[in-house]
Amino acid sequence: MRKKRNMLVLAAAVVLAIAVVGVCAADEGDAILGKWLTAGEKSVVEIYKCGERYCGKIIWLKEPLDKEGKEKLDTKNPDETKRGRKILGLQILSGFKYKGDNKWGGWQNL
């Protein structure tokens, strides 16, 4: 439950970081491309183009290892088949696009 909440907080932080970019025209959506430090400064999410839309993945963690010294995994994912995925490199945003008027849509947690 805590991990799921953390992932939702991370996704929300990314969306908020995108919002501070300011109003941009639809053809200027590329302004969000790059690396974004999340709220709490515990991770960095890279926003990149995936086709005609944008995606985001975790590229840095302040604490990348668990208590046993192993890479952190997505162990709290409600989908049991995804619990073995490494957090570092995990795509957490997919298919979002600039809608105009400083609004984005189509993104999702994966």
**Which tokens go with 88?**
């570092």
Q: Give the number of other CB atoms < 10 A from CB of residue 26.
A: 10
Q: Which domain holds residue 63?
A: 2-105
Residue 49 lies in a domain: yes
Q: Is 57 part of any domain?
A: yes
How confident is the model over 5-25, as pLDDT tens digits?
454 444 545 554 444 443 334
Q: How many domains does the chain have?
A: 1
Query: How many other CB atoms are found less than 10 A from the CB of residue 90?
Result: 21
> In what helix (H) or strand (E) does residue 45 lie, and over which residues does it extend?
strand 43-50
62-98: pLDDT as tens digits:
999 999 999 999 999 999 999 999 999 999 988 888 8
**Considering the domain boundaries, does residue 37 fall inside one?**
yes
Cβ-based burial of 32 (10 A; exposed 0-12, middle 13-18, buried ≥19): buried
